[in-house]
Amino acid sequence: MAKKDKGSPVRDALRVGAELPDPGSTPVGPGKKPKAVAKLDDAAARLSSLQEALYAEGVGGGRRNVLLVLQGMDTSGKGGTVSHVLGLVNPMGVRYAGFKAPTPAERRHHYLWRIRKQLPVPGQIGVFDRSHYEDILVPRVTGLLTAAERRRRYSEINAFERELADAGTTVVKVFLHISPEEQLDRLRARLQTPEKHWKYNPGDLDARSHWPAYQEAYADIFKKTSTAHAPWHVVPADRKWYRNWAVAELLIETLAELAPRFPEPGFDVDTELAKLKGVGVPG
């Protein structure tokens, strides 16, 4: 646990660059499903033990934690990622928060108000299913954000994430990158499966009709908010098995670099063992 990882090949390969990878590609790691599924199985044990060490460190007074920010177009697999990747670790150490369109009550506050309320505590892995980035994306695409307001929000978000880093939170920002063709298939599947109807929203088609504007907005977000302490990663997400493997590895590399440590006991082990020997069975 205390060993440093030898590097971050997956983070390095998926860090956002000038060009986005093809949504169906597999830029690093397994290129076929059976291998990716087997590797995710292996990853489960590592992720789980790193998470336990982080949690233990938090119990011992450490303040560090991790925040996974998931963004992507509708059907890009944010929920599936939570289920298949975060589902691998102990629920005690996970804090999930999904952000939908803000309610009227939420709108009366600064847009970071509801975000701050959902931050993970020390030792936890927090997951944001959508996030404060929606507060640039949606108003920008729907034309409700002036260029000046947009600049202000970028600057606020960068300051906010700087503050998180200073407070001990490692922010892992992931864009799940799907193709419009794949989205069409997934929307159709939702409509054709009654148990998936609840995941479908007619508004998804409106958002889809603004696809190029969203891609442009994301490109701008990557340019303005991919910082050294909170860079963006682009995960090709047309293949669910690749997406799951990649997000698991991003978390593992992040945690391995943190190298969380089980806390030193605040007691003398031998003394306590001796006390236990003297203890009878009460009752």
Least Å from the CB of residue 27 to a copy of itself: 21
Contacts (CB under 8 A) with a copy of itself, residues 189-208? 191-192, 194-195, 197-198, 200, 202, 205, 208
Cβ contact 204:75 at 8 Å: yes
Cα 146 to the center of its chain, rounded Å: 28
Cα–Cα dist 154/29, whole Å: 33
Cα–Cα dist 237/10, whole Å: 15
Least Å from the CB of residue 12 to a copy of itself: 28
Contacts (CB under 8 A) with a copy of itself, residues 99-158? 127, 129
Least Å from the CB of residue 269 to a copy of itself: 6
Cβ contact 30:44 at 8 Å: no
* Selected range binding a copy of itself among 35-43, 93-101, 151-159, 228-236, rule: CB under 8 A: 93-101
Contacts (CB under 8 A) with a copy of itself, residues 26-85? 52, 56, 59-60, 79, 82-83
By beta-carbon proximity to a copy of itself, the closer residue of 17 and 180 is 180
Cβ contact 172:248 at 8 Å: no
Task: Provide the binding-site residues for a copy of itself, judged by CB under 8 A.
Answer: 52, 56, 59-60, 79, 82-83, 86-87, 89-92, 94, 96, 98, 127, 129, 180-181, 184, 187-188, 191-192, 194-195, 197-198, 200, 202, 205, 208-212, 215, 262-263, 265, 267, 269, 272-273, 275-276, 279, 281-283
